[in-house]
Structure 1
């Protein structure tokens, strides 16, 4: 007997399969598997330490450097709520755009300079509209039903610190802290361009 699937059931099955594959890959990250959201080339086999310095009197412009003080990324701010992450040569990696009139302060992140839905990489939003401490949920583009987040950010804007977790687990993939400057520690095999984009959005949401 032949069984047929409706389009909605097929999409649901594909969505579940994608999420299972993503979960397997991300859970294996601490054991040497490279994982990426922006690009594989930003997955280092060792811990990556970065500093973020925001320029005064600018609309969100920032510079990201490694421990050798080499510029790794630049963040360009555009009014009203758009940020672009660039490699040091000036190549646009991702564009971050806030969804207007969003109760949960949703930001969408696209590949390059695009704002086309086909280039969507992930989105970030508050876990709830009212918060005493910041908790953000991150959804990859394939996670269309958003029943469970793919990553979670917990932190305190006043302490300028946060921790990024894989999904609902306690597995940490990156952390941000502030001493004399904002420092970001990215765990081995984790896409540090993705992490920097999350830190930018964390900062923007907390400034609202």
Structure 2
């Protein structure tokens, strides 16, 4: 995954583009390598918790909601977000948890509140990242986990951390 000026490009180990993260008409959209919309992110800034809703394709219709994300506490030393699948309407227990390292150099996604890891991301320090401002990350996604879901979570984490979560 490469980040340059807020633009994300996700490639496989051979350099083939898997996903791009675009801002289109005031919306943030994750598209596949051919430009087809996978999910649309709708970010909201609330008084105590940043919140994001993720919808199927280029929709923002409630019937197309896939999952939502919120920051459990506004005051955190290490950024943590809770993920709730669309059918988890009570949001009493999260379905996934994303925890970022102290300096934001890595993060881990867990199943619920357990210690079971489903994906990890680590910053790769390269000459290109230092000289050209292109941050590169190595992303590991464990078996039976959707890549687009994981990429969307990383995009949300970045949006909450660097933009305060709001549009």
1:117 to partner: Cα distance = 0.5
Aligned to 2:158: 203
Structural mapping, 1:1-208, within 5 Å: 52-56=1-5, 60-78=6-24, 82-156=27-101, 158-180=103-125, 181-207=136-162, 208=164
Higher relative contact order (CA 8 A, sep 6+): 1
User: Structure 1 pair 165/117, CA: closer, same or farther in 2 (3 Å)?
Assistant: same
Q: Distance in 1 between matches of 2:114 and 2:80?
A: 14
As a proportion of its length, which structure holds more helix? 1
1:143 to partner: Cα distance = 0.4
TM-score, normalised to structure 2, is 0.86
As a proportion of its length, which structure holds more strand? 2
Contiguous gaps of at least 5 residues in structure 1? 1-51
Radius of gyration: which is bigger? 1
User: Structure 1 pair 66/155, CA: closer, same or farther in 2 (3 Å)?
Assistant: same
1:89 to partner: Cα distance = 0.7
In the TM superposition, what whole-angstrom CA distance separates every residue of 1:99-144 from its partner, at most 9, and x where no partner exists? 2445311000000111111000001111111111111100000000
Total equivalences in the alignment: 153
